[in-house]
Amino acid sequence: MTEIGTCLANSLVCNDPLNSAKKVSYLIDRAASSSKVSIKFKDIQDLNRWEVSRQDISHETGKFFQIVGIDVACPELNLSWQQPIIYQPEIGILGLLCTKIRNTLYFLVQLKVEPGNINYIQLSPTIQATRSNFLAAHGGKSVPFLNYFRFPGQQESCKILVDQLQSEQGSRFLAKRNRNIITYVENFDSDKIPENFVWLTLSQIKGFCLQDNCVNMDLRTIVSCINYCDFMEGCESLSEIMPNSRNADALRFYFSCYKPNDSERKILLSHLSTLKSEHSLFVSKIPISETDKWELVNGKLSHRDSLYFDVLGVNISLMGREVKDWDQPLVAPCSVGENVLFIKKTADSLLCLVQFKLECGTKDIIEIAPTIQTSSQNKKSPVEQYLYDMYHATMLEKTSIICSTLQSEEGGRFYREENKNIVLDVAGKDIALSSSYYMWISIGTLSDLLRYNNFVNIQLRSLLSLLQPSML
């Protein structure tokens, strides 16, 4: 096993971390109390430096993001609708720095305040920055550690572990992607870190993911991109690395689950190509004032039937950010979402029931999504309703729940948006599916596809980030 692989294995099962869970919880509480967050709702037409026109909602500088209207049609599915959507074509950076400490891989996590977070402070990547952020379009402070992620090849002793463009929510963002990157820095001075940063093992990050609204969306998506197959050389030596045989057995199975399956990948890619070539997705911008069933009322942009989401105006005042006071729009959901993944364990793999989901904001028509990605408000096809009913019935069987937690969406664009993130063991259940929009896929093949753009959507990535050796 490679040296980094050994450190990664230790990071997954470390029982004696630098910072205990109790200390990290204390640091989160301290950061929250010192941030002094104030959120005041404003009429969206009165936001300072923002303009609400017939065409869109945009910042006076033309930077940051816009709220635009779109017209959507998929003739093959007999679908058409109009909606507002966030348009932010620039590629942001979600960066996670790691180093070796006591023969264990530690990740530098930020206790970051975001105005839309339910509890304001959440565990976040080392940096999460839009291009406007790191070019200081807002006139704020510089972004710490930026060059480890913006130009990693120019940094001495810097090794890239993950570097990929991944999509954001396809129903909320129009063709938005962020760079998900993990860099390993050799001989990093782990004692010299700014306030509100903390070193955590991978086991701790995954553990905090099981607490409601504790680990933010950006950190979850980066963690999901770790391909354990890259570190599997000499996997049989885990029993020598780990004095605890139970840890060694769990790790060996966990690592082995991530082995790619070439024949399965070919079948999956061919099936995806067929679906994409057989579906047309027409998305065009339209004036937001002409977006059907959406209207400016009571100081916000809302659906006339109070469905889906609202676009609110807010004034934000807080400590701990590059800029301490500003106005902006935030997207607020009308209900809690439900993202559910069905899994079943085989002798040497872990299979996931995924769906192939078309969303208006995706760059390539269809992405691979969880078994269920919906809310109580959404209309459901017969197959979706069948799986939705099975999910609720399975939740009554406590032994089938691998994990169940509430997770927040990104607090810089969304106001207190959260989704149930649930993984269910459905081994032994007879799931009768004849739909071409669903398929059982190994986690190894899904992880392999995360090396590339626009395959696995952010909801499924969030669920994959929750899985850890002790669960399987």
At 343-395, the pLDDT tens digits run 999 988 999 999 999 999 999 999 999 999 998 778 899 999 999 999 999 99
- Which structure tokens are listed for 53? 């026109």
pLDDT at residue 37 tops 90: no
H or E, element range at 105: strand 104-113
Q: Which residues contact 229 (CB under 8 A, 6 or more apart)?
A: 255, 258, 259, 260, 444, 447, 448
pLDDT recorded at residue 133 = 79
- Which structure tokens are listed for 360? 């208006």
Rounded CA-CA distance 463/220 in Å is 8
**pTM, to two decimals:** 0.96
Q: Which residue did the predictor score with more confidence, 248 or 184?
A: 184
Query: pLDDT, tens digit, for every residue of 97-126?
Result: 999 999 999 999 999 999 999 988 999 999
Do β-strands 92-101 and 104-113 pair in parallel, antiparallel, or remain unpaired?
A: antiparallel
Type of residue numbered 251: L
pLDDT at residue 137 tops 60: no
pLDDT recorded at residue 392 = 95
Q: Which residue did the predictor score with more confidence, 448 or 37?
A: 448
Q: Which residue did the predictor score with more confidence, 135 or 62?
A: 62
Do β-strands 92-101 and 127-129 pair in parallel, antiparallel, or remain unpaired?
A: antiparallel
- pLDDT grade for 281, boundaries at 50, 70 and 90: very high
pLDDT at residue 139 tops 70: no
Using alpha carbons, select from 228, 173, 180, 167 the residue that is nearest to residue 455: 167
* Ramachandran category for residue 12: left, alpha or beta (phi over 0 → left; psi -120 to 50 → alpha): alpha
pLDDT recorded at residue 238 = 62
> Any idea which of 33-37, 67-71, 274-278, 446-450 has the lowest mean pLDDT?
33-37
pLDDT at residue 273 tops 80: yes
**The residue to which tokens 């990740």 are assigned:** 107
pLDDT at residue 424 tops 80: yes
**Average pLDDT, integer, range 188-216:** 95
Q: What is the mean pLDDT of the chain?
A: 93
Q: Is 280 within 8 Å of 302 (Cβ atoms)?
A: no
Q: Which residues contact 20 (CB under 8 A, 6 or more apart)?
A: none
State the CB neighbour count (10 A cutoff) for residue 223: 24
- pLDDT grade for 288, boundaries at 50, 70 and 90: very high
**Average pLDDT, integer, range 82-98:** 97
